[in-house]
Amino acid sequence: MKTPKNTICIWYDGDAEAAARFYAQTFPDSSVRAVHRTPADYPSGKAGDVLVVDFTVAGIPCIGLNGGAAFKQTEAFSFQIATDDQAETDRYWNAIVGNGGQESACGWCKDKWGVSWQITPRVLTEAMAAGGDEAKRAFEAMMAMKKIDVAAIEIERAALPPTTLHAAFTPAHLAGRRDRVEVGSSLLIVGFPLGFHDQLHHMPVVRQAVVASSFGLRFQGQGYFLTDARTHRGTSGAPVVMRLPGGDGSRGELPWLLLGVHSARLDAGGRDAEVDEALGLKAKGLRSRVMVALGYRSEADFNAKLPKSRLAAEQVITRL
């Protein structure tokens, strides 16, 4: 194989092979091409140790050099990975941070070996390249983020009324023991069914639903409750919310309970798919499932990682 004209060389402290194999498993068009061992002792190791690893990250040829502890990684060098949507952004971000990495700001994070990554949705770079008000809007939204929230970048704030308030769900919006969520309660499913949405403002649409099983009980022990709703493809992952009674100011300026995340798949072996469709029964994650679906292991983890300004499931309220 011909050696590339230009290759990125990254310094590691003995972990070059582990890093390269992680990158190959995480990113498309990535692989470990070769592992070279030193033929003799050297200052940072002995004969037979892995010295150089040839690998590719998203099509870019790289060398991992096990040079020892003399030099550390910094943000002066980073990989920028372009993503097409929130799901791809979440996948790479969660893989890096969940494997001993660390969140930073504005779409930056570090892997466990200290290498910095920019997980950057194309919608952000396109908005910045557009210049003017669009670039200003995207930049101001980005500055408040850790992982990039595609929906928040796409919201056309200039097209919304000046009285619009942007608010985010917090752990306080998860249903607690004192909250009454009864069978038959009215719910809203906020999403993009079949990709349909307000293209001018980049805002979702809602479908009405009602609680169809006991909210406090895990349906068939699976961690779900059921709703009676007519939904379509593209709604999975949408927040399921319930309006709080008038006068309840315990959740601040966002008077909604976040009950779960919509799932169109109900794991109930032996049921007839046509019957389920006729019944219109869909599954929603319970409180604990909400945090799992959003990438949090517990409420403490939720609090620790919660962006200060918004979550992916951002609500926009217009004060009339």
Tell me the domain boundaries of the chain: 1-72, 74-154, 165-318
Residue 214 has what pLDDT?
87
Look over the chain and give the mean of its residue pLDDT values, rounded to a whole number. Answer: 80
Residue 213: CA atoms inside 13 Å, Cβ hemisphere, count? Answer: 20
153 by DSSP, 3-state: which? helix
CATH of 1-72, one of 3.10.180.10, 3.30.750.24, 3.40.718.10, 3.40.190.10: 3.10.180.10
Q: Please identify every stretch of the chain with a pLDDT value under 50, giving residue numbers as ranges.
A: 267-268, 287-299, 302, 304-320
Residue 60 CB-density burial (10 A; 0-12 exposed, 13-18 middle, 19+ buried): middle
Give per-residue pLDDT as tens, 114-137. 999 999 999 999 999 999 888 888
The dihedral built from the CA positions of residue 173, 177, 183 and 184, taken in this order, carries a sign that is negative
Strand ranges across the sheet with 78-83: 78-83, 116-121, 108-110, 102-103
Residue 222 has what pLDDT?
78
Which fold would CATH assign to domain 165-318?
Answer: Thrombin, subunit H (2.40.10)
Residue 223 has what pLDDT?
77
Residue 192 has what pLDDT?
73
pTM of the model: 0.58
In this structure, the chain runs to a length of: 320
Residue 72 CB-density burial (10 A; 0-12 exposed, 13-18 middle, 19+ buried): exposed
Do 1-72 and 74-154 fold alike per CATH? yes
Superfamily of domain 74-154: 2,3-Dihydroxybiphenyl 1,2-Dioxygenase, domain 1 (3.10.180.10)
Maximum distance among all Cα pairs of the chain, rounded to whole angstroms: 76
**Nearest partner of 301 among 167, 171, 117, judged by Cα:** 171
Residue 184: CA atoms inside 13 Å, Cβ hemisphere, count? Answer: 0
Residue 83 has what pLDDT?
95
Residue 55 has what pLDDT?
97
Give per-residue pLDDT as tens, 248-257. 666 767 788 8
Residue 239 has what pLDDT?
84
Q: In Å, how far are 131, 241, 290, 298 from 171, measured between CA atoms?
A: 36, 14, 10, 11
